[in-house]
Amino acid sequence: PNGYTIGLSSANAAVFQALVGKLPYKTTADYTPILKVADVPPTVAVLPNAPWKNFKELMEDAKKRPNEISIGSSGRFSAADLPVHELMLKTGVKFNMVPFSGGGEALVAAMGGHVNAFVSTPLNIAPQVKAGKLRCLTVFQKGRNALFPDVPSTVELGYNVTHPLSYFVMGPKGLDAEALKTYHKVFLEVVKGKKWEDFANQNGFVVDPVGLADLTKELNEWKATYEMLIRELKIEVAK
């Protein structure tokens, strides 16, 4: 904690994995959250000839046909899988979730028509959308995504689920106070800068520079969400 060791993590790794696995850290008290640098929102895509013109139609169809519409993800309870589970719990709609061993495999399966839809990062989907090989239906965020400006977000459509992959800078427990102050200031300047904004837009990231106490609060809110999902989905927890 002398200020010479810092890290970059996601809420999924720092919070969810800590709840389900046997790790040397459990809560935000075991490390020092410094600044959130970006949210990477899950994105839903289908083949161009899919019968649903938009995400509302997909949801309405799934409501009529529980567990019949398949959605691929990068892995069971991954950052691409959990958002759909949260959506299903909040709406009562039931999809047939198909976990693959990585986003690349899920993408290939979706493009081959082996699943009806799939969820991945905006950057993973955008090149295929641009090439006309996939069609984006929605992005799990509040506003529009820079890579899909014409596609309504989940929140716009009335589904209060965002569940991004949130990346943040962190330090060890008991990080030197002056080092913490300096790191927060420097990273905040970067994240609020034009270069980072351009980089974020090019990659479909959402810039949300939450820091220090507010970031700790947000991570603790993530903990409550993940605890709910673990309980409702009966996710196995390492003893």
Cβ burial of 75 (10 Å; 0-12, 13-18, 19+) is middle
Cβ atoms of residues 77 and 236 within 8 Å: no
Task: Please name every residue paired with 7 in a beta bridge, in sequence order, or none if there are none.
Answer: 170
C-beta separation of 80 from 42 below 8 A: yes
Buried-exposed string 152-164: b where 16+ CB fall within 10 A, e elsewhere = bbbbeeebebbbb
pLDDT of residue 46: 97
- Would you call 127 helix, strand, or coil by DSSP? helix
Please report which helix (H) or strand (E) contains residue 73, including its range. Answer: strand 70-73
- DSSP 8-state code for residue 53: S
Phi–psi pair at 22, nearest 5 degrees: -95, 95
- Tell me phi and psi for residue 122, to 5 degrees: -55, -40
End-to-end C-alpha distance for the chain, whole angstroms: 29
pLDDT tens digits, 130-163? 999 999 999 999 999 999 999 999 999 999 999 9
Q: What are the tokens at 192?
A: 């609020």
Distance separating alpha carbons of residues 217 and 210, to the nearest angstrom: 10
Note the pLDDT tens digit of each residue in 76-133.
Answer: 999 999 999 999 999 999 999 999 998 889 999 999 999 999 999 999 999 999 999 9
Residue 238: which pLDDT band, with cuts at 50, 70 and 90?
A: confident
Secondary structure element (H or E) that encloses residue 56, with its range? helix 55-64
What global pTM score does this model have? 0.92
β-pairing, 135-139 vs 96-99, is: unpaired
Dmax (CA) for the chain in angstroms is: 58
What pLDDT, on a 0 to 100 scale, did the predictor assign at position 156?
A: 96
Cα–Cα separations (whole angstroms), residue 11 to 37, 100, 108, 150? 12, 21, 27, 28
